[in-house]
A and B are shown apart, each in its own frame.
Chain A
Amino acid sequence: MALSASGDTWGVSGPDFLAFYGAAIVAVAILAAVHRRRLLAGGSPDAVGRLGPQQVAHLTGGDRLAVYSALGGLRAAGAIESAPDKTLRPTGPLPAGVTPLDTAVYNAAGRRIRARDLAADEWVRSALQQLRDGLQASGLVASPERLRVARLWGLAAIAVGLLGVARVIAGTSNGKPVGFLVPLTFMAFLLALFLLRRGGAATRAATKGLADLRRRHQHLAPRQSPAYATYGAAGAALGVALFGAASLYSMDPAFAAEAEIHRATGSLSGGDASSASCSSGSSCGGGSSCGGGGGCGG
């Protein structure tokens, strides 16, 4: 016994280390999941129903979809058009009761800006900042600071991974088998990647509120070929906000194509949808299936 103990790498037996290592991975995964859950718990689903179309669009597809929602509303109101050289231009007066983002986009159109350059426009950027601030104040999105804190758990996972690498190197030079440790180390790095990714900032309440809103406004889904003239500018803006850029193509394909609208933005299957990446945040619990790997130590 004493002999074998003296041969253990770092004085810890293989099975003991495997058990400790597996437990460390599971602990990081669970703590990160619990923490993220708390960070993204804010707001109430009812608050989503009180948002304007562009705020809803921001929850669904970020800055880009918020701009698209403004474009949809202004286009449906007959305020802007696109030119073959891909620039926007105003065709009518700015409608009454518009948002700061509408005004910013309309003024950018007055300067014959291209739709894809809107997000870089100073005025549009400040209107988007205002939109984001409003959403954060409503508690429906987590602040960038909080999201950064949540991502710190990725560093913990990297530390666990590096420990595994060190043990594999030490163990190999010591002539010990590392067949179980290598895949566990790999899992630690996978977990790190998962925790470091830039997930959506929408809280669970926001995601639930969005789902409710989509159900209530099924008639705006592009597959219903909605009569946008009947639903008006507000309906067009909300359609884009809830069902993504595909709504713009359904409403005015020539305009959408000329304005170089990214069709997948905000689509439920598209990568841009923060709601999609958000739900995977709660599947963090899947990380605890690493616990099965811990059993290999026996």
Chain B
Amino acid sequence: MTATKKLRVATTSLAGCFGCHMSFLDIDEHLFELIELVEFDRSPLTDIKEVGDCDLGIIEGGLCNAENVHILREFRARCTKLVALGACAVNGGLPAQRNHFKLTEILEEVYHTSPGLANGLIPNDPELPLPLNKVHPLHEVVKIDWFIPGCPPSGEAIWKALTDILAGRDPDLGFGMLHYD
């Protein structure tokens, strides 16, 4: 029996495509090593809905609506360290390509004026989170401790960054693993 306490880790996908989580699963058999070192709190892997007190929060995706911001702030309040995982979390990524257009114009086009959308209505249910005017990367709203760029970062890069962090080092990807695309 080892007396070492496992680190508690939460993960979530905000304005992302879950590609970074899929890439995270690409660490393959390293998952067996990882599970010896960490236990998962809120994450798509556990289906826990509310984030508890954690040592590490890993966040994929940027911020495109009010709920994204709410969850990010919860993660910041509950996690000792936060990691921005992937292009969208780091610089807004694909969702931020809408930043050149007015939100009203986008909603009009998506729900009203595109062909085949006769009488479309812009969804306005109070349950739906309100879209932000612009998409933002995480570090523009809360302090982020580490960044892992890539669209997505490779499983190899994610494993290298995680092992660096678990060993108490800043992630150092180096040539061949550091990519922005």
Q: Judge: A and B partners, yes or no.
A: no
B residues lining the A interface (CB < 8 Å): none
